[in-house]
Structure 1
Amino acid sequence: MDARIQQSVVANLLTRPAAAQAGPFVLGIDPATTSPGINYATPRPGSEITPAAVTEMVAAFRAADRLPRLEYVTSSAPELEKHLLAAGFTVEARHDYLVCTPETLVVPPAPDGFDLREPATDEQRVAMVNAQIIGFGGDPGATAEDAERMGRLQSRGGVSVMAVAADGTCAGGGQAVPPNDGVSEVAGIAVPPAYRRRGLAAAITARVAAALFAGDGTVAWLEASGPDAGRIYERVGFRPTGKRLYLVLDR
């Protein structure tokens, strides 16, 4: 499963508007944003990694005027971490990833007073991105480029689900990238503080996975940033499967 998950990351990054390759690395570059969560690299699974390849990858990031940063399944490149640390990278995070299949998925009903739907207009997409930003602790500031990015994801077979309160306010959201060989990453599951502890995160996650499985998806995966998030995802059928590593060269 590790190799399938890592290959799905490679495939996703190759869809970025200015995707690049540097030796065994794929860089997902988007000229419309400097966000490190969008502009990052990953190794092709099973590739030989050398210090020279790391140097080439850093140079490609510099040429694109982006911060050198990587996300990857640790077993797909077991020697990579030591080469990155030697080059000055630091570990940003170590996360478990969890996997769900149609056989394990449990879809709870939407919590009372909320409707789960796919954002269909740019106004709705901006509202969803703002709710996600607030849910992750930031200040709302979604742009037309964010709406366009979500629209592209949806048009290519990705999934977006927003929770809407009775007064029309977006109360959270999440999305999944288009499946590659049946595998898709679920990401951005976020609920603003005012709407938490009502089961929205679990319901959004399950609805995203269900939409994937209704199409070409056979495996949905996501990351848990901590035990509390992990319990939410396990409640709807995600199971801990492997490890992912984030590193950054912050200079």
Structure 2
Amino acid sequence: MSLDVQSFAAVHLLRRPEPIRVGGFVAGFDPATTSPYVNYATPLPGAAPTEAEVAALVGEFVGRGLVPRLEFAPDAAPEVEPALRRAGFTTEGVHEYLVCTPATLTRPAGLPATRSPRTDAEFAEIDAALSEAFGNAFPAATDGASLLRRTQERGGAVRFVRAEDGTCAGAAGCSAPAGGTAELAGVGTRPAYRGRGVAAAVTCALAGVLFERGAESVWLEPEGDVSRRVYERVGFRPGGTRLYLRLDAPLP
């Protein structure tokens, strides 16, 4: 599965507004945000980067005023981590990812209904709800609603649950598939609506949509035991790990 996840990561970054390739690396940049979770790089499967390639990749980030940062499945490119560490990269995190397939997907009874956003107002509501859900912990995009719309228009999907007062209770998005798999990310529920099955509903709905479109699997990274239990409830199972590395003080 690590090869599928890593192949997806490379293709996904090439979909960014400003993608580049440097040797065995792919980096994706989006001028709409400085978020390191949007602007980052990943190696191609099996990459064996040289010192010069690593230096060139760092230069692309520094030139944009961004922290050099990578996300990847180390098993799919075992020579990458040593090369990056020799250049001074340090561990930001090690994340387990979970995988769901059509055979494991389960829809528990009693989940709230989900909707697909269609209007600018709905995309804006989702963007605001997700910002609240994550406690504004991440740098805000200049136009997060447009980023969500782009995900949906480019073959991915966005689903949300409508709250009783007509606002968005919670939502998530899933990128367009590549190499048979797709990443589901940004699952967020506003604090007032937690514990009502919102996260499980949007996760289940998105996986189902991508399977209907031909994806063989959907993967995601849980944030702690609570979210892990939510995802396992709808059919996600352990798949492997991904490594996040960053260079906080790049050499001039």
Which range, TM-score by smaller chain? over 0.9
1:157 is matched with: 155
- Map 1:8-157 to 2 at 5 A: 8-109=8-109, 111=111, 114-138=112-136, 145-157=143-155
SS at match of 1:49: coil
Quote how far apart the aligned CAs of 1:234 are: 0.9
Quote how far apart the aligned CAs of 1:130 are: 1.6
Matched AA of 1:60: E
RMSD of aligned alpha carbons: 1.9
> Number of aligned pairs?
249
SS at match of 1:224: coil
Quick check: 1:96–1:240 contact (8 Å CA) kept in 2? Answer: yes
Quick check: 2:182–2:217 contact (8 Å CA) kept in 1? Answer: yes
Q: 1:71 to 1:140 in 2, by over 3 A?
A: closer
Q: 1:109 to 1:119 in 2, by over 3 A?
A: farther
Quote how far apart the aligned CAs of 1:182 are: 2.4
Quick check: 2:34–2:141 contact (8 Å CA) kept in 1? Answer: no
Q: 1:140 to 1:121 in 2, by over 3 A?
A: farther
Q: Distance in 1 between matches of 2:246 and 2:26?
A: 15
- Identity of aligned pairs, percent? 45
Q: 1:32 to 1:141 in 2, by over 3 A?
A: closer
1:3 is matched with: 3
Matched AA of 1:65: G
Quote how far apart the aligned CAs of 1:74 are: 1.5
2:204 is matched with: 206
Quote how far apart the aligned CAs of 1:216 are: 2.6
Q: Distance in 1 between matches of 2:199 and 2:190?
A: 10
Quick check: 1:110–1:200 contact (8 Å CA) kept in 2? Answer: no
TM-score scaled by length of structure 1: 0.93
**Unmatched 5+ residue regions in structure 1?**
none
Q: Distance in 1 between matches of 2:63 and 2:138?
A: 30
Matched AA of 1:175: G
2:191 is matched with: 193
Quick check: 1:49–1:77 contact (8 Å CA) kept in 2? Answer: no
Q: 1:49 to 1:250 in 2, by over 3 A?
A: same
Matched AA of 1:244: R
Q: 1:139 to 1:124 in 2, by over 3 A?
A: farther
